[in-house]
Structure 1
């Protein structure tokens, strides 16, 4: 009886099939990314300068969104480093009840929906110890946010500008040492530097507000670029914040505007 011969695929043929599968996988991946991009596009309002989707997602979806952004931009980080940057949905205040457009004009209304309006206009007695910190991605945007919350400023309550654009670190240190501050507005790296410098006192902090809905003319927000998303993630994941996000006695609100 003749032996049955087993036909083995030729190396070249196998390689061609593998390349074809790879191309098909890449094509499918591009289609998924394009579909996701087009779905997100419908939420972008360039005239208002906002991504409306942020206002529609609850804390569970927002935490998942943050996690995906961290892994998209943190490809050079180890898995344990990525996990340390994650934010639990239990840490995030659900703000979907706020129905107004999340632009500069409506920022005070947003703050007053989730905080006592009177207390927003007051400052702790200790210098450089704000009750509210608003964090954004760039200095120019931070300057706009400062103007938006200027209504809370008074003789004994200064709105602090804590960003690197035209302001040296030492100038910010001296400012905080000399002024009572209720609301501070800054960028993640400068804020972290000031905390590490012991100039920015977090002992009276009651809420962190992320300027999440704003987009620029290129349709990018603070969570859409590596150079802003990773510093933001590191700022929000500071140990002193994580210890307080879910603390029932001295809770720290985490709000995404």
Structure 2
């Protein structure tokens, strides 16, 4: 509110004929009645030394957002590094397992028997030691020592391996008794059994028993012929044994195709639990049969 000064205001009054006004709101005088230069809208300007609180709040919020984004980026980076380390460990572990699977066949009987025992305990952790020994474990004495055989365990060398561990096959004469082979080859799949059979010379009479035919048909074929080598899978072999179609009187070697790994790097020893059961059944029923890993 503006008002005129009193004509006799005291020692500070000037009698110069001018009309002075006083602005009560801002506390200073104006001699021309103009609007004051400073006002409420300019109280936070930088020119008069006051602080712009809006800019400070915005700056603080921006700093908080940047700090939060930085923490999130750091957490993502840590998770990514952890994920990469875990993937690397998994890759190295798989590479080690593959190396073991492919090299176990060349080990001595004691090492092979221990390896099979560990597999059995892994599959059946609730079984007692007596139950494991009765159903799955192989005595060291029933594992054929093929550590001397230094060739690569691949199909082109299967013929040589067969003759090295099963002497009757080296002579090329079939067994006289029908359904009583000299060797049984256990493979992880029917396709693999067919591949192994093609690696056996035609001079050695062989027969594949796989799930392509009915099990009753396989039993009839086995009982009406005298193959020196039977190639099969664990499940089909178990069915044949249960029906009594396979005779073990001539059996010398149970060849386990353990070095072959499928696309998922599984072998017949760690993919099919029935393999240990049929191996144990064969060496128990036959007095002279031994297990050889190819």
Is the contact made by 1:120 and 1:183 (CA closer than 8 Å) also made in structure 2?
no
Q: What is the alpha-carbon distance in structure 1 between the residues aligned to residue 254 and residue 279 of structure 2? A: 8
Corresponding residue of 1:37: 93
Instruction: State the shift of 1:60 in Å.
Output: 0.8
Corresponding residue of 1:70: 120
Q: What is the alpha-carbon distance in structure 2 between the residues aligned to residue 67 and residue 97 of structure 1? A: 23
Instruction: State the shift of 1:188 in Å.
Output: 1.7
| Greater RCO structure (CA 8 Å; 6+ sep) | 1
Report the secondary structure of 2:192's partner residue.
helix
Q: Which runs of 5+ in 1 are unaligned?
A: 1-29, 45-50
Instruction: State the shift of 1:210 in Å.
Output: 0.7
Equivalences for residues 1-257 of structure 1 within 5 A: 37=93, 40-41=96-97, 43=99, 51-75=101-125, 77-84=127-134, 85-116=136-167, 119=170, 121-153=172-204, 157=205, 159-164=206-211, 166-225=212-271, 228=272, 230-238=273-281, 241-242=283-284, 244=286, 251-257=288-294
Instruction: State the shift of 1:86 in Å.
Output: 0.8
Shift in CA distance, 34/143, structure 1 to aligned 2, threshold 3 Å: same
Give the TM-score normalised by the residue count of structure 1.
0.72
Instruction: State the shift of 1:79 in Å.
Output: 4.4
Q: Which runs of 5+ in 2 are unaligned?
A: 1-85
Instruction: State the shift of 1:92 in Å.
Output: 0.6
Q: After superposition, give the CA deviation of every residue in 1:137-181 in whole Å (9 maximum; x if it has no partner).
A: 21111111111114344xxx3x111121x1110110111122121
Give the TM-score normalised by the residue count of structure 2.
0.63
Report the secondary structure of 2:156's partner residue.
coil
How many residues align? The count is: 206
Instruction: State the shift of 1:67 in Å.
Output: 0.7
Task: Tell me the C-alpha RMSD between the 2 structures.
Answer: 2.5
